Amino acid sequence: MEIISENNFDIKNLTSFKIGGKIKKVFFPTNINEFEQILNEYKNIKVFGNLSNTLVSSDGYNGEIILTTKMNSVTIENTKLIADAGVKGPKLAQIVCEAGLSGFEFMIGFPGSVGGEVCMNASANSQAISDKLVSVTCYSPNSGIVKFSKAEMEFDYRTSRCQNENLIVLQAEFELEPAAQDDIQTKMNDNLAFRKAHQPSLALPNCGSIFKNPQGDSAGRLLDSIGAKNLTSGGVKVWENHANFIVNNNNGTSLDVLDLMVQMYTKVKENYNIELHPEIRFLGGNNEKENELCKILYKIK
Active site residues per annotation = 158, 209, 279
| 3-class SS string, 135-199 | EEEEEECCCEEEEEECHHHCCECCECHHHHHCCEEEEEEEECEECCHHHHHHHHHHHHHHHHHHC
Report the C-alpha gap between 179 and 100 in whole angstroms.
5
Of the candidates 18, 172, 3, 160, the one whose C-alpha atom is nearest the C-alpha of residue 86 is 172
Report the C-alpha gap between 44 and 231 in whole angstroms.
36
Report the C-alpha gap between 5 and 266 in whole angstroms.
40
Report the C-alpha gap between 118 and 116 in whole angstroms.
5
Report the C-alpha gap between 185 and 100 in whole angstroms.
10
In the chain, the DSSP E strands lie at 4-10, 22-28, 46-48, 54-56, 61-67, 74-77, 80-84, 101-102, 123-124, 127-128, 133-140, 144-149, 168-175, 177-178, 232-233, 236-238, 246-248, 281-283
Cα angle: 155, vertex 190, 116; to 5 degrees = 30
